A = this chain, B = another copy of it.
Amino acid sequence: MLGLLSQIGPINGNGLSSSADVLIGDYWTLTRSQVYRELQNLERRGFVHAGPLGPRSSREFSLTESGRAAFHEWLDAGPAGEVIRFPMLLTIRFASGLPPERLRDLLDDFESRHRAKREFYEQLEADLVDAQSDPFEIATVRFGRLFEAAVATWLDELANIVP
């Protein structure tokens, strides 16, 4: 959130939440409620400063100097450990208890959703390269593309054991 504020702020809670969706939603989830709670938190710690009440009792938040410092501290600390939860792998792990045709359906469904994602990332990456966007932003999208490519490969190989 501090990073986003540094790029797009000042902005109100709802705006920050939707921006997060657009800007980092591909690899980080964040609900509106979380944003509001955390904004209060950040305000209490002096990392953001809230402007006066606007429409619907909204307030615009902007990054303070100490917030900017906290952001750089976070950035410098490097990435946190990954928490991996891949529901499809749970299903697959226990898939021997599933009728083959049902499994087939589930895989088809999975495949089509991920194919769509893969195409999306391919297009997006091409667009960003075209537009000469920030190389680091491009890198995050490229990761998405590579990830989806790996999923596709996996599904292909999986077809050998689920004919």
Contacts and interface: CB of A to CB of B under 8 A. Distances in A.
A138 to B, nearest CB: 8
Given A86-B28, A90-B79, A142 B161 contact: no
Nearest to A148: B150
Residue of A29, A79, A161 with most partner-chain B CB within 10 A: A79
A153 B146 contact: yes
Interface stretch (A36-44, A49-57, A93-101): A93-101
Contacts of A139: 92, 154, 157-158, 161
Interface stretch (A10-18, A59-67, A129-137): A129-137
Given A28-B86, A150-B149, A154-B146, A79 B93 contact: no
A90 to B, nearest CB: 6
Contacts of A109: 78
B146 A89 contact: no
Given A79-B87, A102-B76, A110-B79, A93 B140 contact: yes
A80 interface: yes
B84 A29 contact: yes
Contacts of A149: 150
B87 A82 contact: yes
A70 interface: no
A126 interface: no
Given A27-B86, A78-B109, A79-B88, 5 more contacts: A23-B93, A28-B89, A82-B86, A82-B87, A147-B147
